[in-house]
């Protein structure tokens, strides 16, 4: 089975359609599938729902799809750093399903494990719990959260082999692993594709069984918040 594709557009060919649910890895601008997001923008698909911790910034990450009004709904835990995200939400143009970070990660992981739902204490007594089933366990109240089963998962990794085994670099692993597992189809972009057998099995973070298509590309690696000291204070 061919898994390595020439570029993002080719890797997404035949997969994209209007109205689909896409799980995207990344945290802030760390480990985001920027090449695949750009290809999604260029494809023109619309009415998309994204499950992602956040939406990048105004001109990078999922933010570029918000600018073109291709996103109908976000399932996210953080709105900050993206003025267009906030503007569309507050004006009623964008539907937002607020989900605590840990709950979002577990919803993705649950979907990848075939688990339709789970109970958690996170969000009890807040707007997060409104409309959700409540249940008591040992005298404590929990709410039911549903697993995320995405039509497509897009992730960014450091290395891959031609069978789709992935290795992530440090904190860039973040939401990429749970996002990858919950997609019916997973497309990964990587910095380097290495020969089969060259990856230490103990160092593989995501087995190739979860990954259907892989591309290699050049990445911008922006810094979201650059904070430095003055030279004389260093």
pLDDT tens for each residue of the chain, 234 residues long: 899 999 999 999 999 999 999 999 999 899 999 999 999 999 999 999 999 999 988 889 999 999 999 999 999 998 877 889 989 999 999 999 999 999 999 999 999 999 999 999 999 999 999 999 999 999 999 999 999 999 999 999 999 999 999 999 999 999 999 999 999 999 999 999 999 999 999 999 999 999 999 999 999 877 777 788 887 766
- The CA distance from 66 to 234, in Å, is 39
Rg (CA), the chain: 18
**118 has which bridge partners?**
145
Give the separation between CA 226 and CA 200, rounded to whole angstroms.
34
**pLDDT at 228 (0 to 100):** 84
Q: Which helix (H) or strand (E) holds 95?
A: strand 95-98
Answer yes or no: are the C-beta atoms of 188 and 211 closer than 8 Å: yes
Element holding 87 (H helix, E strand): helix 83-90
Neighbours of 199 (CB within 10 A): 18
Contacts of 150 (CB under 8 A, 6+ apart): 21, 22, 23, 51, 111, 179, 182, 183, 184
């Amino acid at each position: 089975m061919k898994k390595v594709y020439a570029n993002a557009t080719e890797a997404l060919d035949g997969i994209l359609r209007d109205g689909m649910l896409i799980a995207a890895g990344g945290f802030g601008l760390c480990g985001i599938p920027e090449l695949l997001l750009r290809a999604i923008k260029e494809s023109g698909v619309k009415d998309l729902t994204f499950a992602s911790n956040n939406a990048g910034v105004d001109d990078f990450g999922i933010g570029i799809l918000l600018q073109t009004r291709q996103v109908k709904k976000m399932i996210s835990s953080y709105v900050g750093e993206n003025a267009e995200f906030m503007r569309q939400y507050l004006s009623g143009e964008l539907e937002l399903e607020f989900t605590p970070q840990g709950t979002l990660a577990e919803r993705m992981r649950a979907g990848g494990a075939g688990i339709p739902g789970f109970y958690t204490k996170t969000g009890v007594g807040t707007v997060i719990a409104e409309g959700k089933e409540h249940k008591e366990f040992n005298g404590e109240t929990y709410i039911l959260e549903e697993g995320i089963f995405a039509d497509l998962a897009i992730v960014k990794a450091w290395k891959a082999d031609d069978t789709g085994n992935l290795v992530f670099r440090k904190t860039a692993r973040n939401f990429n692993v749970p996002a990858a597992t919950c997609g019916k189809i997973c497309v990964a972009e990587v910095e380097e594709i290495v020969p089969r057998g060259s990856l230490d099995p103990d160092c593989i973070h995501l087995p190739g069984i979860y990954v259907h298509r892989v591309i290699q590309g050049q990445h911008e690696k922006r810094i979201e918040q650059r904070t430095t000291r003055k030279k004389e204070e260093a």
